[in-house]
Structure 1
Amino acid sequence: MKAIIPVAGAGTKLRPHTYTQPKALIPLAGKTILSIIVDQLVEAGITEFVFVVGYLGEKIQHYVEQKYPQLICHFVQQTSREGTGHAILLTRSIVQDDEVLIVLGDTIVESNIKEIIAAPHSLLGVKKVDDPRNFGVGEMDEHHIITRVVEKPQIPKSNMALVGLYKIRETVQLFDCLQDNINNKIKSHDEYQLTDALECMIHHGVKMQAYKVTNWFDCGRKETLLETNAILLKKQMPFVIPPFENTIIIPPVSIGEHCNIKNSIIGPNVAVGDNTTVNYSIVKDSIVGSFSNLHEVVLKSSLIGSDANIRGLSQSLNIGDNTEIDLG
């Protein structure tokens, strides 16, 4: 089985960070979004991956090749952003007729991946939500067989959202439906959607079962990313945090390697990247990237990119990479 991870999106809702950093490489609870996804799949026994890259794709390729040299990795370029359906179709020559596990690159789910892989039918990961209008939605019968899928319906007939996790056995039919949709210009919300191809497969008799995931974390916006960071930090406790000079650490926190922290209060719910310097500062409920420098700042509910230099006093920031701010 191969894993397909589409990571070609521009991540517009996370700007300014995604001007210089792919969304999948944003730090989260001591890792990156992408490494959390890949580690979960590797633990389940998957060793071959197909990454669909686009915007800043060379950074993703470099990251994967450096961090996972033991894996078989393919990189497919999506030069025009035409939707997830278009992205998946680009992998056809690599996947051929192998079974695939598709995991969207901005979604973290908690589930039994080994159980999903071993299932006798194709599976679609689902989770009950209060308002399903912003998601793909799966309708199902009393046996949890998917009878219909719709992308972002205005009047949903189900509150079971598709969470971005798909185990597909019938890959020949998948690619045929994707190609037919593109040939016939079948789009939803101006893009070629994977959801529409799945609906085509269901219409042609492919059996798909709903798989209810344990948890589903949205990493597409600053607010939800910070919430996800806090949840994952709590799940990963306890962390081994070395002592820092005249500094109070309030768990849960994750502090990267080679950080220089003095005279500060860090936590709760803080993730700090490698080689970052913090002095005379208070940081809580925030993510701080690598190689950043914070001096005399008060940060809460903030997302700070890598190589940022911040001096002065602040309350809530959303700062991208390579940024210098003096608030004194």
Structure 2
Amino acid sequence: MNIIIPMAGMGKRMRPHTLSVPKPLIPIAGKPIVQRLVEDIAKVCNTKIDQIAFIIGDFGDLVEKNLLLIAESVGAKGSIHYQEEALGTAHAILCAREALEGNVIVAYADTLFKADFILDVDQDAIIWVQAVEDPSAFGVVKLNEQNQITDFVEKPANYISDLAIIGIYYFKDGAYLRKELEFLIDNDIKVKGEYQLTDALENMKNNGTKFVPGQVAEWLDCGNKEATVNTNQRYLEFIKNQPLIAASALMTNSVIVPPVFIGADVVLENTVIGPHVSVGSGTKIVNSVIKNSIIQENSDIININLANSMVGNFVTLEGNAADLSVGDYNAIKV
């Protein structure tokens, strides 16, 4: 099994947190979004992952090294591929053409999920979906009586289906997908100036590929600050029975309200943490109350009442605040 993860986007909706760190490396319950995604896909696959191909922009050597380590953590070989122009989803996937062989999963790195099924690798193709209340805001699939997908509809004005496409796809024959993507590029088939994966899926369906839905139990978005904080909350609930507090964390006169993640060498003094808080390694929090928030690494939080917030790396935050989104390398006193 190969996994292809397009993640070359700029993450503009997550600024200021993506000014120095790509969105897929923002931590959820102590691990980068993309690492959580890879680990959860590996569980659903229940088979060996051979290669993970990351399609990125110019993110720098450190990011590339971290991505390769994420692949190694699930026993796979990692590879780095570059999308230098934003030419659409089909173009992005084709940037990793070498990985389009055999069984392939394509997964976009701004979505996480909880699923109770094991992937059926004998199916031609599977599109992972979840039922939503307002399908008009999503791409959806329409099913026939045999539970096969007959149509892909983008943001339907009238009700077609409530099964929204979450951005994860399985293909039994990666080489066939590569051929269809190459057809779009070679024939310059674009929508609004971009080559779209949905056009390749439509061609494959018309040529006899049987698509079926893989319905997940929960779909977690990481598209903006509010959604990411909520995803951190849900993830902490999923893993609350695992050890989540590092042995090297130092806590003095402080209260932990689980579930929380506390990273290595965190210092807590006269502080209440939780529920649903993730604190990255090397951060110090003094005289504060923190709820439902993500605080990243090597930051100093002093005299703060914080909730529903994100705080980046190397931040100094002192004063009194209630709902913040603070990027890396800031110093704020209020």
Same fold? TM cut 0.5? yes
Determine helix, strand or coil for the equivalent of 2:190: coil
Alignment of 1:80-229 (within 5 A): 80-92=85-97, 94-111=98-115, 115-188=118-191, 190-229=193-232
Closer/same/farther in 2, CA of residues 216 and 240 from structure 1, 3 Å limit: closer
Q: d(CA) in 1 for partners of 2:223 and 2:175?
A: 31
What is the total number of aligned residue pairs between the two structures? 325
Which piece of structure 1 moves more, 245-254 or 64-73?
A: 64-73
In the superposition, relative to structure 1, how do residues 267 and 189 fare at CA in structure 2: closer, same or farther (>3 Å)?
A: farther
**Residue matched to 1:37:** 37
Shift of 1:196: 2.0
- Structure 1 residue 294, shift from structure 2 partner: 0.5
Work out whether 1:73 is the aligned partner of 2:78.
Answer: yes
* Deviations 1:220-255 (CA, angstroms, capped at 9, x unpaired): 111111111111111211345466101111111111
- Give 5+ residue unaligned stretches, structure 2: none
Unpaired runs of 5+ residues, structure 1, are none
Whole-angstrom CA distance in 2 between matches of 1:98 and 1:306: 40
Residue 55 of structure 1 deviates from its aligned partner by 4.7
Instruction: Provide Cα deviations, 1:40-61, integer angstroms capped at 9, x if missing partner.
Output: 2444321311111115264431
CA distance 1:68–1:207, change in 2 (3 Å): closer
Distance of 2:262 and 2:175 partners within structure 1: 45
Aligned counterparts of 1:305 and 1:250: Cα–Cα separation in 2: 22
Report runs of 4+ in structure 1 exceeding 6 Å deviation.
none
Q: Tell me which residue corresponds to 2:19.
A: 19
CA distance 1:324–1:82, shift in 2 (3 Å): same
Alpha-carbon deviation of 1:67?
Answer: 4.5
Q: Give 1:121's aligned amino acid.
A: D
Are the equivalent residues in 1 in contact too, given 2:36–2:112 (CA < 8 A)?
yes
Code of the aligned partner of 1:274: S
1:311 Cα offset (Å): 1.0
Give the deviation of 1:130 after TM superposition.
1.4
Whether the aligned pair in 2 keeps the contact of 1:177 and 1:197 (CA below 8 Å) is yes
What are the Cα deviations for residues 243-277 of structure 1, in whole angstroms up to 9, with x where unaligned? 61011111111111110110111111101111101
Preserved contact between residue 267 and residue 282 of structure 2 (Cα < 8 Å): yes
RMSD: 2.0
Does residue 244 of structure 1 match 2:245?
no
AA of the residue aligned to 2:114: E
Aligned residue number for residue 270 of structure 2: 263
Would the aligned equivalents of 2:250 and 2:265 in 1 still touch at CA under 8 Å?
no
| Amino acid aligned to 2:235 | L
1:245, 1:263 within 8 Å by CA — same for their partners in 2? yes
The answer to whether the 8 Å contact 1:137/1:156 transfers is no
- Matched residue SS, 2:147: coil
| Amino acid in the other structure paired with 1:33 | I
CA distance in 1, matches of 2:132, 2:69: 37
Letter in 1 for 2:24: A
Q: In structure 2, the residue corresponding to 1:278 is in which secondary structure?
A: strand
1:121 CA drift (Å): 2.6
CA–CA separation in structure 2 for the residues paired with 1:184 and 1:324: 52
Deviates more, 1:193-202 or 1:52-61: 52-61
| C-alpha separation in 1, matches of 2:146 and 2:62 | 43
State how far apart, in whole Å, the 1-side matches of 2:256 and 2:155 are: 43
Partners of 2:2 and 2:141 in 1: CA distance: 24
Q: Is the 8 A contact 1:310 1:324 kept in 2?
A: yes
Partner amino acid for 1:291? N
Aligned partner of 1:84: which letter? T
Maintained 8 Å contact 1:10/1:55: no
